[in-house]
Amino acid sequence: MSRLRAAGGGELQPSEQGLKVFKVAGGVFIEKLKDSEAGGGEKIVAAVTSDHHPGPRVGARLPEQPDVEQSPWGLFALPQYSGYLGDFPFYYATLGIKPYPKFTAVIHAVSPLVSQSQPILKLLVAVAKSQYCAQAVHAEWRASHIHTDMQACIHNAIISTLRGALIIVLWNCDKPLPAKHRWPATSVPVIVIEGENKVMSSRFLPYETIVTDAVLSLDEDTVLSTTEVDFAFTVWQSFPERIVGYPARSHFWDSNKERWGYTSKWTNDYSMVLTGAAIYHRYYHHLYTNFLPTSLKGMVDQLANCEDILMNFLVSAVTKLPPIKVTQKKQYKETMMGQSSRASRWADPDHFAQRQTCMNKFASWFGAMPLVHSQMRLDPVLFKDQ
């Protein structure tokens, strides 16, 4: 069972079909009784329509599609995701398509909410203020495989609220969900998804509540300002097939041990951008879930580690390109990725050793090392002046 919830508010109306709907500050509270994640029984499908969206529209003439078999990305364009190549980020440039100009934030929460000063609450507020998250756009909601009354209940409760991007909190904490009043009021809907299996790979499930092309992936203790969120997204719009973000890492060949190594040392190059503060296309959630073998995802879930490395392997295998690193303001550099819930993990020698093992396991499955080094870093001019 998984439940979709949103912060704040009181009850709006009950459902005849076991669906509880609550009015909230900046959104709705929804509790479903069946799995609404990937491949579940009841599904809510949101399709955003606008002049910017790459999907085909009724009456619109589609641009001529390239030959998939002759394309270097043909292997990675899974037909069950879409039959239109304009829905795949690596075809945007060929088809002259621009990504949809909003993002959906997915915050991975693993720690109980015990204080109003915890970073996740500040992060929610900062992300909600982004001009690329908060502005309203037109959305058309469709429901499939659900009862007509339930469809009407869902539509009436949320069609006026979920008009574009939103913030999803993936609750992978063993503690119960906090009370609704513990969450901050935001101008953007905040939906909390509590899955039955609280595993690391669940952060990359193709949730159908992600209705935008861009996913802003965040760890609960990430420290980012609204300006930094906006800058990373504007950069991603120019590189929609890549991972764009802040914390960078690198790989190297250890000739003494004859194996690949992983390093977090500050150097002149990098080959990975960690998904604790990164933006990428939502298609990579589908590819991670449906293309990668169960053995690799199982290893990630068993270790509760390396999901970010595996996503970098996957995206670089697709694009044959490195990720894009962007720069934070100086005052945040030392606090980034160093808060309470993960500080002990990053300092744990076993955690670091596991990442070395993951590097070699992943490289073995891919048949080669797909990661590509880069020395390019994009800095916002505004930060230089401050």
The residues annotated with a catalytic role in the active site are 308
How deeply is 292 buried, as exposed, middle or buried, from its count of CB atoms within 10 A (0-12, 13-18, 19+)?
buried
DSSP track, 72-131: TTGGG--TTT-S-GGGSGGGHHHHT----S-EEEEEEE-S----TT-HHHHHHHHHHT-H
φ and ψ of 43, to 5 deg: -130, 145
How far apart CA 365 and CA 309 sit, in angstroms, is: 14
Q: Residues 239-260, buried b or exposed e (16+ Cβ, 10 A)?
A: bbbbbbbbbbbbbeeeeeeeeb
- CA atoms 265, 266, 268, 270: torsion sign: positive
φ and ψ of 11, to 5 deg: -70, 135
For the chain, the helix, strand and coil percentages under 3-state DSSP, each to the nearest 5? 35, 20, 45
How far apart CA 259 and CA 308 sit, in angstroms, is: 20
HSE (CB half, 13 Å, CA atoms) of 99? 29
Nearest alpha carbon to residue 315 among 350, 275, 349: 275
- CA atoms 148, 150, 153, 158: torsion sign: negative
Q: Phi/psi zone of residue 59: left (φ > 0), alpha (ψ -120 to 50 degrees), beta?
A: left
